[in-house]
Chains A and B, each alone.
Chain A
Amino acid sequence: MAGDSEVASGGSNKPALALHVPEPKYRPGDTADFSHIDIGEAGALSRPDEASAPADMSDFAYSLVRVLGEDNQAHGAWDPKLDADTLRTMLGNMALVRAFDERMFRGQRQGKTSFYMKCSGEEATSVAAGMALASDDMVFPSYRQQGILISRGYPLVDMINQIYSNKADKLKGRQLPIMYSARDYNFFSISGNLATQLPQAVGWSMASAIKGDTRIAATWVGEGSTAEGDFHSACTFATVYNAPVILNVVNNQWAISSFSGFAGSERTTFAARALGYGMAGLRVDGNDALAVFAAQQWAANRARSNGGPTLIEYFTYRAEGHSTSDDPSGYRSAQEQDEWPLGDPITRLKDHLIAIGEWDEDRQAAMDQDCADRVKAATKEAEKNGILGHGLHHPFRTMFEDVFEELPWHLKEQAEQATREREIKWPDEHPKDGAGK
């Protein structure tokens, strides 16, 4: 459109302005090559004191904290030196998450529910990070942190009841599948709107500080939604009040079909967002469970000692589609996952455990089988309570409950209308008890 530019510049000799629209390196059919990504060496970075001034540790926002090396050994100052039992628990939690995802994805395809989101390839960013927190620390998750719930021992059957929106769903069938809420597990209600949980986590941690409590808050957000104003509000409030909070950015490279360049990754890292606020920033290999654990633990120690908030970027890769409604073959190279230079988090932790003589392939196979069996059993149990669209839902009146603490007149009138409609639409169901069959 050179002709247009000439017209637009009015014939002057000033250069025509040009808009840059980011474009990912690889599209479907392209050969992916990630050799341009500098991943550094495992163990290469020092571990700053948790009380460090953010300006004194700005390099950590641009490099990559890595512990597990190519030799499957843990290296350097960031090695959290976890005992073998803890490592096996971590591996088991990640394996259970993956088995759960596989089965729920299949369940959606079989018509048992409307929607599902896997976290394949990102399991460490929730499992290992969640395990580095105390169980009474409050987490404000995004929609891909099922690993935290599973690590905290939340019953699988309750997760599946929610996914099926059935009569045993603790959220009364109101929320899209996977938008869990688990107050008893210190797991905040997942919104579905993006990044809103960030200022909320900051507010919770401010409240904890106002009350002289000892509990901290942690929150997770995708790199794409760091573009939301909420992210910047959260960073501002977190630093202004030195809030005991951890802001975790899961940079999985893709926001549905938009690569991370549309959130600014062509210019800088997401961890570097911290520096402008005067916040500690860490950039971490998100597929290295030990590095993830170590970074979260560092930030938790800092927050607990009134050292202030930390922004952590977990550099990872979304190995599958955004959700069951997404087909990534339409916008990115299918080869990317295989070429991803930081591997798979489960494989890497498994290989580490084997390398230190604490695990073997037979035990791995038995564990995988056990995970699949547990998920299968929980699925069968949940299906007794119904699947989406098969009548085993919560009673109609519950649609109107909890909008307010008390039911105002206009909702009472609308609830009566819904009941009348039900008797016309589904005359075979019990007419008086308000419940579906």
Chain B
Amino acid sequence: MSEPQMTQAPKAAGENAERRLNMIDAINDAMDIMLERDPDVIVMGEDVGYFGGVFRATAGLQEKHGKTRVFDTPISECGIIGVAVGMGAYGLRPVPEIQFADYIYPGLDQLVSEAARLRYRSATEFIAPMTVRSPFGGGIFGGQTHSQSPEAMFTHVSGLKTVIPATPYDAKGLLIAAIEDNDPVIFFEPKRIYNGPFSGYYDKPVEPWKKHKDSVVPEGYYRIPLGKARHVAQGEALTVLAYGTMVHVAEAVCANKGIDADILDLRTLVPLDIEAIEASVEKTGRCLIVHEATRTSGFGAELSALVTERCFYHLEAPVERVTGFDTPYPHSLEWAYFPGPVRIGEAIDKIMSE
């Protein structure tokens, strides 16, 4: 039985132990460190070079590491992923950015048919050790082309790993682990929480990361292993499975309702920390799954099936899913769409009443 890692303020050496970063700066720090450590790492994507990325995730990296290590690309996701496959075959470790997850589809064939299967089809002669970074999720009034959460499309593909951080500390450690991983990794960054954790109460002021315990990001290299969930809160009444932005929303709702919830931030969807999930559900007997993506065939369906198959005799209530609706992400009705406190609260009430 694996013990999910507790998040704690990391004790780094020296006076920088309390350095606090937002998620963007933590991601930038991870790439900076890997560019420094490994001459085979390159960073590329639309607007990532001189300008430093539309979300500033690569700011300063080209100036520091040079134009052949960090550079802009044509607006061609097919090309970006395709050349990354070839670079991986050469021996590089590319970190392509797809500017929004909504733009990833032109690169899908190169990801699904090529990167994901190269190790298998060539019997390890060639691999595609790339980390595809991409901001995903809604909550920034991005409309239907800047808000999607397509993670389930990638978890469905054998050969791809899917990683989603929820804190600055995790973002850095997981991104370093992803870059060092020899398999292709889809690294979705919840852009709603780039600058601060989001409680889901959209009409309340945004809290900056510096007030959050997990914004302490030590300098230098560290990694968080892929496939290990994070225990956000220990509780007895209810298991909450979430990732990305929804970790914070679910945490806030449980706190407001006074629910003694056992909250797991999955961090990695494939490979999934099934032991942590089983241990939690066996303890609480109730399970709520929260994601922002559309409901039908979403990753919540997989989680629900796994919990039902493996923990059925521990369950005291049906597994509940809280998700986005099965519509495109609407612009003006964003907060009607978003699976916020009302939807989560209703689901919790239902589970707890059983």
Residues of A within 8 A of B (CB): 138, 140, 170-172, 174-175, 179, 181-183, 188-189, 191, 193, 196, 198-211, 217, 229-230, 233-234, 236-237, 240, 402-405, 408-410
Contact = CB atoms under 8 A, between A and B. Distances in A.
- Name the residue among A189, A205, A236 with the largest chain B CB count within 10 angstroms: A189
Given A208-B90, A404-B183, A200 B122 contact: no
B158 interface: yes
Nearest to A231: B78
A177 B159 CA distance: 22
Given A171-B121, A404-B159, A409-B271, A236 B74 contact: yes
B13 to A, nearest CB: 31
B16 to A, nearest CB: 32
B120 interface: yes
A402 B87 contact: no
Nearest to A171: B123
Contacts of B109: 193, 196, 230
Contacts of A233: 74, 76, 78-79, 82
Nearest to B159: A403
Contacts of B114: 191, 193, 196, 200
A109 to B, nearest CB: 26
23 contacts: A140-B86, A171-B122, A179-B121, A183-B122, A188-B126, A191-B113, A193-B114, A196-B85, A196-B109, A199-B81, A199-B86, A202-B83, A202-B86, A203-B83, A206-B86, A207-B87, A211-B90, A234-B79, A402-B124, A404-B159, A405-B119, A405-B127, A405-B183
Contacts of B79: 199, 202, 230, 233-234, 236-237
Closest 5 CB pairs of A and B: A199-B82, A203-B86, A203-B83, A233-B79, A207-B90
A321 to B, nearest CB: 25
Contacts of B270: 408
Contacts of B227: 408
A209 B83 CA distance: 13
Contacts of B33: none
Interface string B62-89: 0000001100011010110111111101
B106 interface: yes
Contact of A181 (B81, B83, B121): B121
Nearest to B69: A210
A193 B125 contact: no
Interface in B77-110: 78-79, 81-87, 89-92, 94, 106, 109-110
B125 A183 contact: yes
Given A193-B109, A404-B271, A409-B271, 11 more contacts: A189-B118, A193-B113, A196-B85, A199-B86, A203-B87, A207-B86, A233-B82, A234-B82, A237-B82, A403-B120, A404-B183
A354 B162 CA distance: 61
Interface in B31-63: 42
B304 interface: no
Contacts of A410: 271-272, 274
Given A189-B121, A191-B113, A236 B76 contact: yes
B318 to A, nearest CB: 23
B321 interface: no
A172 B74 CA distance: 37
A173 to B, nearest CB: 9
Given A181-B126, A237-B76, A206 B87 contact: yes
A183 B88 CA distance: 13
Contact of B110 (A170, A181, A189, A199): A199
B83 A189 contact: no
A182 B89 CA distance: 12
Contacts of B69: 210
B127 to A, nearest CB: 8
Interface in B278-335: none
A229 B78 contact: yes
Contacts of B126: 181, 183, 188-189
Given A175-B121, A181-B122, A202 B76 contact: no
B161 interface: yes
Contacts of B84: 203
Nearest to B128: A200
Contact of B106 (A174, A208, A229, A408): A229
A204 B89 CA distance: 7
Contacts of A199: 78-79, 81-83, 85-86, 110
Interface in B117-146: 118-127
B74 A240 contact: yes
B195 interface: no
Given A200-B89, A200-B114, A208-B90, A405 B182 contact: yes
A138 B183 CA distance: 22
Nearest to B274: A409
A209 B127 CA distance: 20
Nearest to B271: A408
Contact of B120 (A174, A201, A234): A174
Contacts of A200: 82-83, 85-86, 89, 114
A203 B81 CA distance: 9
A203 B85 contact: yes
Nearest to B306: A410
A237 B107 CA distance: 14
Interface in B248-297: 270-272, 274
A234 B79 CA distance: 6
A145 B309 CA distance: 48
Nearest to A172: B123
A171 B158 CA distance: 18
B199 to A, nearest CB: 33
Contacts of B183: 404-405
B229 to A, nearest CB: 13
B122 A204 contact: no
